[in-house]
Amino acid sequence: MLVAGDVWEHRVPSPEALGLVFDALLRLHGAGIRSVLIPGNHDAPQLFRSYAGILRSIESEAVPQVLPPDRGGILKLPSSDGSSEVELACVPFVPERRFGDAAALFDASESWYQSYVEGMGNLLAAIADGFTPGAASVILGHFFTDGALVTPGGGERELTIGIAYAVPPSRLPGTVSYVALGHVHLPQAVKGSPVPARYAGSLLQLDFGEAGQRKSVSIVDVEPGVPAKVTEVPIASGRPLKDLRGTFDEVVAQGADAGDAHLRVFVRTEGPVPGLADRIREELPNALDIHMVYDRDEFQLPETPVSSLRPRDQFIAYFRDVHRADPPEEILAAFDEVHEAEQEAELHPSEAT
């Protein structure tokens, strides 16, 4: 089982997130399946380094950084029955600011430092030169390739998918059996690659920009001297994300058919409706994100500083700025009640306590 980076969402994962991953690795070990993990741009290489020894005891390799082939950069992993082996080179995410550190481990020429893209192409070529000629060989990497499709509004970080990070598919080594990639969340083959190469994609729909996206894993058969055969297997488990749109009654009706999906709800109204989010959640407990959709008027903000206005007028200016509508009478009445109680507490602090 190859995990091509972004094992966790944050560089310092919660104990619950750590437990989920370690439990999965233990279950793989119990099933006799080796695993290899590399850090992505969301991960901290130091975390992989600290757990590498422990994970090795359950036949799981955590590879924190790029290494030259003659210094442990290529793993030789036997098959379950011991009849064959695959040579695996790991290319964890290399930030642009740290590329020089990675290049310094190799016999890097000046051309490596001309640009990040040029340097990554040279790095991949140097790694591929370390494979045994004719062996079943795989590169496990976390980087962006030019032309890869990302989801508008999806979870990829913009800074790491721009043109400065886009390695041309033609720079993927043509001598390897397969290139297994992470980083892009949408499962897809790498077009223009000289060898079979694929982004397996994220295991879950990570935000509502990926709602409706089919997730999968890739099963890869590799043999010496034969192009890899890739089979995409859809993931049926996990809770999907779904958007609901319409009036209150319409979104409630749609929610009845949404199963256990996490929901983002857009409710069409005449204007701001106090307590609408609570009403939606009473009917749709899986609603995570609720928005009111209505025609928003343009309001002229006060010419005088808001801080110079009386509290009630400050609140009205704030409400207009956020909702592009006048606050309903019941909202103003609630504000007046709270403000009056606050003033009473200031005048009679002993009674308030």
d(Cα 140, Cα 126) in Å, to the nearest integer? 14
The predicted structure's pLDDT at residue 302: 64
Q: Give the whole-number percent of the chain exceeding pLDDT 70.
A: 93
pLDDT at 322: 80
Phi, psi of 192 (to 5 degrees): 90, 0
Q: How confident is the model at residue 127 (pLDDT cuts 50, 70, 90)?
A: very high
- At which residue do the structure tokens 């507490």 appear? 345
323-338: per-residue pLDDT in tens?
A: 778 888 888 989 999 9
- At 257, which helix (H) or strand (E)? none
Single-letter amino acid code for the residue at 88: L
Both tokens of residue 189? 């083959």
Q: Reduced to 3 states, what is the DSSP secondary structure of residue 326?
A: coil
pLDDT at 187: 94
For residue 322, give the amino acid letter.
Answer: V
Q: From the options 3.40.50.10440, 3.50.50.60, 3.20.140.10, 3.60.21.10, give the CATH code of 2-234.
A: 3.60.21.10
Residue 320 has pLDDT above 60, yes or no: yes
Higher pLDDT, 301 or 18: 18
Could you tell me the residue ranges of all domains in the chain? Answer: 2-234, 241-352
pLDDT, tens digit, 9 for 90 and up, residues 242-300: 999 999 999 999 999 999 999 999 999 988 888 899 999 999 999 999 998 888 666 66
- Cα 174 from chain centroid? 29
Q: Taking 70 as the threshold, does the pLDDT of residue 154 lie above it?
A: no
pTM (2 decimals)? 0.79
**At which residue do the structure tokens 């223009």 appear?**
192
Look at residue 325 in the predicted model and tell me its pLDDT. Answer: 80
pLDDT tens digit sequence for 54-92: 999 999 999 999 999 988 899 999 887 888 899 999 999
Looking at the DSSP bridge assignments, the partners of residue 231 are 219
Cα-based angle 16, 9, 98 (whole degrees, multiple of 5): 130
Confidence of residue 198 (pLDDT cuts 50, 70, 90): very high
- pLDDT over 90 for what percent of the chain? 60
